[in-house]
Amino acid sequence: VVDIRKLYGEHGLFTYDPGYGSTGSTQSSITYIDGDVGVLTHRGYKIEDLAENSDFMEVCYLLLEGELPTAKQKAEFEKNITYHTMLHEQIARFFSGFRRDAHPMAVMVGVVGALSAFYHDSTDIHDPRQRMIASHRLIAKVPTIAAMAYKYSVGQPFVYPQNELSYAENFLRMTFAVPAEEYKIDPVVAKAMDKIFILHADHEQNASTSTVRMAGSSGANPFACIAAGIACLWGPAHGGANEAVLKMLAEIGHKDNIKDYIGKVKSKQDNTRLMGFGHRVYKNYDPRASVMRKSCHEVLDALGKRNDPLLQLAMELEKIALSDDYFISHKLYPNVDFYSGIILQAIGFPTSMFTVLFAVARTVGWVAQWKEMIEDPTQRIGRPRQLYTGYGERPYVPMNKRK
Ligand code: ACO
């Protein structure tokens, strides 16, 4: 890794690096990825160990504070988060301004951004206490907003947070409980939900995190920055991939059609890609995909859907792709999204909510990265350069001479 400022001075060299594949935009001590080997760690802890032994609140604390919490620190942290789970009642009224068939991500971008209009104290980014309160507020309120977006889309009344439940249980209840009907939380489903949140919590300088950092580098308030991250995450090449995996599986329809579909991908017909495969950084198995695959089997077993045709099709597709020369030579392996959509659908989420769940989980990564950036004394406004390909200087053409 070369720090070009040391070699060439402030403006001595421009690198042209579309998609920033070889450009480090920041230093960070939060998340480490070795894409060739397939390693992901948060603050030095392997994702597999965190998914197996910790819950999402512990991982949130780890990302924000740098260490795994003691029991006392965890209890204190959970108290801080649950204190903020409610939304101002006026924010709840925002939802009725959206069309009922609006994509919940569109609603998320709007409502999360609007939090800055309600929590003025948290917009003081120079006060460390307010930075932490803003982080807690976002981690606490984003699931409430996400569940409300869902409830609004299906025409059901909002279900308010219940703070004695775990983060995942509370989210499931706010999403699926219906007044006057008993809602029982399946512990296997709650555990899987918690794992999905852990696996999506942070992933160093991906597109949405870089968007959050870029927005924050101008001094914009944290709510505005996270809304920008949500907008970026929405794209099918990023957070929308698990939704795209289910569409692809539906299009393939039957395992007899896999070979034809793979042929279409390999010949790049209509730019077809195998969704849920490939990653900018991982050129090996995404370690999150292995955990997700196992969790997928556990959930489907618990829900009595072991023979779910979608899961069977996905497993067959994975097997065929992993033994195909094209995928081997391009180092294309399943990523975290290949199996997450199947679990989410089995739990009962509509596909339009998949990216929303990703946003709920990633909020902690975004705020941890945003805080790290603001607290970095070398931080300055993000401002990439460009390779100009337009006209050179030319004489101005008056209106009556233009063709
Ligand atoms: N299916 C088929 N071929 C692929 C795929 C894929 N999923 N991904 C990359 N390739 C091929 C490209 O066609 C290209 O081939 P070529 O060299 O013969 O032209 C080569 O691999 C490199 O592709 P790039 O687009 O340059 O790779 P990049 O690193 O930019 O893309 C990305 C990464 C966007 C994730 C890509 O692999 C992709 O589109 N995957 C499908 C979408 C997806 O699953 N996204 C989720 C990512 S994980 C997340 O956001 C949580």
Q: Ligand 1: does its nearest atom lie under 6 Å from the Cβ of 228?
A: no
Instruction: Write down the pLDDT at residue 150.
Output: 95
**What CA–CA distance (Å, rounded) separates 249 from 271?**
17
Which residue minimizes the CA distance to atom 31 of ligand 1? 280
CB proximity list for 312: less than 8 A, separation 6 or greater: 255
Which residue from 326, 330, 337, 357 has its CB within 8 A of the most atoms of ligand 1, so it is best to mutate? Answer: 330
14-23, 122-131, 276-285, 355-364: range with highest mean pLDDT:
355-364
DSSP conformational letter for 379: -
What percent of the chain is predicted at pLDDT more than 70?
A: 99
Cα(83)–Cα(271) distance, rounded to whole angstroms? Answer: 48
Annotation marks residue 337 as catalytic: yes
What was the ipTM of the complex prediction? 0.95
| d(CA 330, ligand 1 centre) in Å | 9
Q: How confident is the model at residue 43 (pLDDT cuts 50, 70, 90)?
A: very high
Q: Of 277, 320, 328, which is best to mutate to test ligand 1, by the most ligand atoms within 8 angstroms of its C-beta?
A: 277
Q: What sign does the CA torsion over 266, 271, 277, 281 have? A: positive
Q: pTM for the full model?
A: 0.91
Compute the distance from residue 278 Cα to the ligand 1 centre, in Å. Answer: 5
pLDDT tens column, 184-234: 999 999 999 999 999 999 999 999 999 999 999 999 999 999 999 999 999
Q: Is the CB of 278 under 6 A from ligand 1?
A: yes
> So what's the pLDDT on residue 256?
95
Q: Which of 2, 10, 26 is nearest to 370 (CA)?
A: 26
- When mean pLDDT is compared across 73-77, 81-85, 238-242, 364-368, the lowest value belongs to 238-242
- Asked if 358 and 202 touch (Cβ cutoff 8 Å), the reply is no
Reported as a single tens digit per residue, the pLDDT across 314-335 is: 999 999 999 999 999 999 999 9
* 50: pLDDT strictly greater than 70: yes
Q: Is the CB of 265 under 6 A from ligand 1?
A: yes
d(CA 180, CA 37): 51
Tokens 């042929």 locate to 263
The predicted pLDDT at position 53 comes to 98
Q: Which of 279, 286, 324, 376 is catalytic?
A: 279
pLDDT the model gives residue 46: 98
Distance 226 CA to ligand 1 centre (A): 25
Q: Are 206 and 238 in contact (CB under 8 A)?
A: yes
Q: Are 228 and 234 in contact (CB under 8 A)?
A: no
Rounded to 10 deg, the angle between the 241-252 and 258-266 helix axes is 120
Dist. CA 378 → ligand 1 center (Å) = 33
Average pLDDT over the chain reads: 93
pLDDT tens digits along 255-310: 999 999 999 999 999 999 999 999 988 998 899 999 999 999 899 999 988 888 88
Residue 60 predicted with pLDDT over 90: yes
Reduced 3-state DSSP string for 93-161? HHHHHCCCCCCHHHHHHHHHHHHHHCCHHHHCCCCHHHHHHHHHHHHHHHHHHHHHHHHHHHCCCCCCC
CA of 81 to the centre of ligand 1 (A): 37
Distances in Å between the Cα of 155 and the Cα atoms of 239, 338, 352 are 25, 30, 15
CA distance 43 to 100: 41
**Cβ 241 vs Cβ 203: under 8 Å:** no
Gap from CA of 262 to ligand 1 centroid (Å): 14
pLDDT of residue 6: 74
Q: Is the CB of 274 under 6 A from ligand 1?
A: yes
Token output for 396: 């101005």
Q: Are residues 85 and 145 in contact, defined by beta-carbon separation less than 8 angstroms?
A: no
172 vs 164, 269, 331, CA distance in Å? 13, 40, 36
Query: Between these two residues, 241 and 357, which has the higher pLDDT value?
Result: 357
Looking only at the bridges linking them, the beta strands covering 31-34 and 45-46 are unpaired
**What confidence category does residue 9 fall into, taking pLDDT thresholds of 50, 70 and 90?**
confident
In testing the pocket of ligand 1, which one of 23, 262, 268, 280 has its CB within 8 Å of the most ligand atoms?
Answer: 280
Q: What gap in Å lies between CA 172 and CA 70, rounded to an integer?
A: 26
331 lines ligand 1 (CB under 6 A): no
pLDDT of 354: 94
21 vs 204: which has the higher pLDDT? 204
Interval 84-91 mean pLDDT: 94
Q: Bigger pLDDT: 285 or 33?
A: 33
pLDDT at 381 over 80: yes
Report the C-alpha gap between 74 and 267 in whole angstroms: 52
DSSP code, position 350:
-
pLDDT on residue 236: 82
Helix runs in 241-352, H state only = 241-252, 258-266, 287-302, 309-322, 325-329, 337-347
Q: Output the CA–CA distances (angstroms, integers) from residue 48 to 53, 290, 333, in the order listed.
A: 9, 9, 18
Q: For ligand 1, say whether the CB of 330 is within 6 Å of any of its atoms.
A: yes
Ligand 1 within 6 A of CB of 277: yes
Comparing CA positions, the residue from 57, 56, 54 lying closest to residue 45 is 54
Give pLDDT, residue 79: 97
Q: What pLDDT is recorded for position 98?
A: 95
pLDDT reported for residue 10: 65
Looking at the predicted structure, is the pLDDT value of residue 11 above 90? no
Strand 31-34's sheet: what is its strand order? 31-34, 39-42, 45-46
* Contact between 227 and 113 (Cβ < 8 Å): yes
